[in-house]
Amino acid sequence: MRILVVEDEKALSGLIADRLRREKYVVDVSNDGEEGLDNALSGMYDLLILDIMLPQVDGLTILKEVRKTNLEVKIIMLTAKTELEDRLAGFSGGANDYVPKPFHIDELAARVNAFLRMNKAVGKQPEYGNISLDYDRSAVTNVQTGESIAMNNKEFQLLEYLMNNPERILSRDMIYDRIWGMDCEAVSNNLEAYMSFVRKKLRLIEANVSIKTLRGMGYRFEKEEK
């Protein structure tokens, strides 16, 4: 799952990003409101963390612009402002939560998990064919046999992205942006290597789905024909 942090304090945004990456999220950072607004409207994110006091475009404006769209994204407001009217402005604009500064970084991580992981844990885990993702154990399970296999961070994120977009052609750029981030400097063979790892694990649990390579186009996750 992917998170955008819009925070102009670079030390703080870096701290938040590092902490959430430890939770196995893909995290991008914008340090001004104009860039943050563009990225927030891209439709690439599952959750936004928005500071209110930002250069160029403030966080409440970003919140309002995002809520004008049909994007299904959770939004946590992050700000030094603690007055009741500021919190009410955020909630009335469509914010899901409000975290005043200063805060403990583990508390923020817990709130993010509450919106993202806990929702998955109550029956919304991606399922496709005969496999299901287990967020608690970072594993993929054959729902027919009960056999599971653990996956590392990038393998899990890659399979999650594929399972959330079955039968859809995903280009290499789309996958790189989603899994490695917009500032990714990964070499070109990284994707093929991770595709190979995921394919091997799917075979080991006898999954009835496969990742098809479409030359010049990208990849498609599909059910195997009997």
Q: Which of 103, 120, 137 is the last residue of a domain?
A: 120
Structure tokens of 214?
A: 């479409």
pLDDT tens for 162-208 read 998 889 899 888 888 778 765 555 555 688 889 999 999 999 999 99
Confidence of residue 7 (pLDDT cuts 50, 70, 90): very high
What residues contact residue 191 under an 8 Å CB cut-off, 6+ apart?
Answer: 172, 175, 176
Does 136 or 28 have the greater pLDDT score? 28
Number of structural domains in the chain: 2
User: Is the domain of 9 the same as that of 107?
Assistant: yes
- Decide which of 120, 138, 159 is a domain's last residue: 120
Give the integer Cα–Cα distance in Å for 117 and 124. Answer: 10
Percent of the chain residues past pLDDT 70, beyond the cut: 87
- Give the CA distances from residue 47 to residues 27, 50, 72, 123, in Å, rounded to whole numbers and listed in that order: 10, 10, 9, 19
My answer on whether 11 and 105 are in the same domain is yes
Query: Which residue segment(s) compose the domain that 64 sits in?
Result: 2-120
d(CA 176, CA 77): 27
Q: What is the spatial distance between Cα 105 and Cα 21, in angstroms, rounded to a whole number? A: 12
Q: What is the per-residue pLDDT for 85? A: 65
This model's pTM is above 0.95: no
Looking at the structure, tell me whether residues 173 and 147 fall in a common domain.
yes
2 or 205: which leads in pLDDT: 205
pLDDT in tens, 79-109: 876 666 666 666 777 888 888 888 899 999 9
pLDDT digits (tens, 9 = 90+) for 113-163: 888 875 554 445 678 999 998 877 889 999 999 999 999 888 988 998 899
pLDDT at position 123? 47
Pick from 38, 60, 41: nearest CA to 50: 60
β-strand pairing of 2-6 with 74-79: unpaired
> Pairing mode, if any, of strands 131-134 and 139-142?
antiparallel
CA distance to 58, 138, 205, per residue, from 198 (Å): 41, 13, 11
Which pLDDT does position 185 carry in this prediction? 56
CATH number of residue 30's parent domain? 3.40.50.2300
Say whether both 131 and 213 belong to one domain.
Answer: yes
What pLDDT, on the 0 to 100 scale, is given for residue 84?
Answer: 62
Boundary residue ending a domain (92, 120, 148): 120
Same domain, 21 and 114: yes
Same domain, residue pair 136 and 164: yes
3-state secondary structure of 44: coil
Same domain, 139 and 84: no
CATH number at residue 204: 1.10.10.10
Q: Are residues 108 and 137 in the same domain?
A: no
What is the pLDDT, as a whole number, of residue 122? 46
